[in-house]
């Protein structure tokens, strides 16, 4: 039964009980003191059910709107992935290709459809394949981003020198589940473009630093992308009812900007004291080196957006809260003797907006978690998660 039908039936039942209750009260041969108490309680319960159904309908509508907004955001980053200037691949831990963008398919001279299911190792020179296999095994056992210089062969084509940037992705249990690859043809690039960038300061240390205090709204310019050097930025939008909706958190090393979203309302707020540098979109278009550096950071935002989309899709508020705390633990958690401390203080209003519910509900659920010993708070009201999985 869908929500609309449930509300209609609840209203019909409530009306019938109201009519029956009124009729029973005016019949002269039925004394008032004989009216069954259970009948009165049934009428009152019907009224409560009707109000609960209406509230459920409203919450469901808001949840659907939020899901649509997040899906539009996810689609935006998917388009950036497809049109990225460097080749981008997703493989399993053995190097079997699961996803590829258009640039990667062009570099390897095959269609995207043909690439899926093929081993990345097959495009490596025969004499270098064992070395790459060994590197992948080591990568799965560490959290380092691996930089490799190899020679790749196009499908029915020529060899070319390639720079591969490979990073491992792990699940909540810490098990390696996939690899992310950036593939660049460096044969005809200048010498500095073939050098792996080890530190973002190499590109950003000459740019002016823009500082914003905690709570300040950060101005957005469609021609500029902000890079976070330090601090945490809350990215949000607003529903038609005026409620703030949390759609992302830009931590140090991540990027954000109005040009990276399709939302009509997009706001950035400093959750702590932050330091930012600005990058013009025209600079990115003119610099392959800068594009290469920013692509993994845009990918971070894409993955985080998908995580928020998963949270929004959970039916029960308790599940949404649990997944949100897991996400915050990964994004801004720091190890302390008591467990994992969130480095930024989140209000119940912030958490409620991310969970598509009310502050009162979050306060009640957080209280339960605290009673169970799952969470606690430090002197500055920062959340501490204790063995929270």
pLDDT of residue 113: 82
**Torsion sign, CA atoms 25, 29, 30, 33:** positive
Percent of the chain with pLDDT over 90: 9
pLDDT over 70 (residue 39): no
Look at 1 and 145; give whichever has higher pLDDT: 145
pLDDT over 50 (residue 193): no
Query: What integer is the mean pLDDT of 87-110?
Result: 89
pLDDT of residue 228: 92
Each residue of 40-61: pLDDT tens digit? 665 566 666 667 767 777 777 7
pLDDT over 60 (residue 185): yes
Average predicted confidence (pLDDT) for the chain: 79
Of 143-157, 208-222, 344-358, 364-378, give the lowest mean pLDDT range: 143-157
| Continuous segment of H or E residues that includes residue 333 | strand 333-336
pTM of the full structure: 0.48
Q: 198 falls in which pLDDT band (50, 70, 90)?
A: very low
CA dist 226 and 282 (Å) reads 14
Using CA atoms, how far residue 137 sits from 115, 131, 134, 149, 233, in Å, is 22, 10, 5, 17, 36
pLDDT of residue 389: 57
Each residue of 209-234: pLDDT tens digit? 899 998 899 998 888 889 999 999 99
CA dist 114 and 97 (Å) reads 10
pLDDT over 80 (residue 83): no
pLDDT over 80 (residue 165): yes
Query: What integer is the mean pLDDT of 78-94?
Result: 79
Of 2-16, 27-41, 70-84, give the lowest mean pLDDT range: 27-41
The fold of 317-385 is Arc Repressor Mutant, subunit A (1.10.10)
Q: Per the CATH hierarchy, to which homologous superfamily does domain 201-303 belong? A: Jelly Rolls (2.60.120.10)
Each residue of 281-327: pLDDT tens digit? 878 877 777 888 888 888 888 888 888 888 877 888 888 888 888 88
pLDDT of residue 1: 47
CA end-to-end span of the chain? 34
Give CA angle at 146 (93, 190), nearest 5°: 130
Architecture in CATH for domain 83-190: 2-Layer Sandwich (3.30)
Q: Pick from 331, 118, 368, 127: which is nearest to 234 by CA?
A: 331
């Amino acid at each position: 039964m869908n929500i609309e039908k449930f509300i209609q039936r609840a209203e019909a039942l409530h009306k019938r009980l109201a009519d029956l209750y009124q009729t029973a009260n005016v019949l002269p041969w039925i004394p008032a003191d004989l009216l069954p108490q259970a009948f009165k309680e049934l009428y009152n319960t019907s009224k409560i059910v009707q109000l609960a159904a209406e509230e459920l309908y409203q919450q469901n509508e808001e949840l659907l709107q939020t899901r649509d907004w997040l899906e539009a955001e996810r689609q935006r980053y998917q388009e950036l992935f497809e049109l990225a200037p460097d080749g981008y691949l997703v493989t399993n831990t053995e190097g079997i290709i699961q996803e590829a963008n258009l640039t990667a398919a062009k570099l390897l001279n095959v269609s995207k459809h043909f690439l899926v299911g093929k081993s990345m190792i097959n495009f490596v020179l025969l004499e270098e394949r064992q070395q790459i296999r060994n590197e992948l095994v080591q990568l799965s056992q560490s959290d380092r981003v691996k930089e490799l210089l190899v020679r790749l062969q196009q499908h029915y084509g020529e060899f070319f020198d390639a720079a591969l940037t490979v990073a491992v992705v792990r699940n909540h249990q810490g098990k390696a589940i996939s690899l992310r690859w950036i593939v660049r043809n460096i044969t005809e690039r200048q010498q500095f473009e073939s050098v792996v960038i080890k530190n973002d300061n190499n590109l950003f240390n000459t740019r002016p630093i823009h500082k914003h205090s905690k709570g300040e709204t950060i101005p957005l310019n469609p021609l500029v992308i902000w890079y976070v050097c330090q601090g945490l930025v809350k990215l949000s939008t607003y529903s038609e009812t005026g409620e703030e909706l949390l759609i992302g958190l830009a931590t140090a090393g991540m990027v954000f900007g109005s040009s990276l979203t399709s939302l009509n309302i997009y706001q950035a707020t400093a959750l702590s004291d932050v330091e930012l540098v600005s990058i013009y979109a025209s600079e990115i278009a003119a610099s392959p080196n800068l594009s290469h550096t920013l692509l993994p950071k845009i990918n971070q935002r894409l993955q985080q957006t998908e995580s928020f989309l998963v949270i929004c899709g959970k039916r029960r508020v308790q599940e949404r809260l649990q997944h949100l705390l897991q996400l915050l633990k990964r994004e801004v958690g720091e190890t302390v003797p008591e467990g994992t401390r969130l480095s930024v203080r989140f209000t119940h209003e912030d958490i409620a907006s991310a969970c598509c519910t009310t502050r009162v509900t979050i306060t009640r659920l957080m209280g339960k978690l605290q009673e169970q010993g799952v969470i606690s708070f430090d002197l500055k009201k920062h959340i501490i998660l204790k063995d929270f999985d």
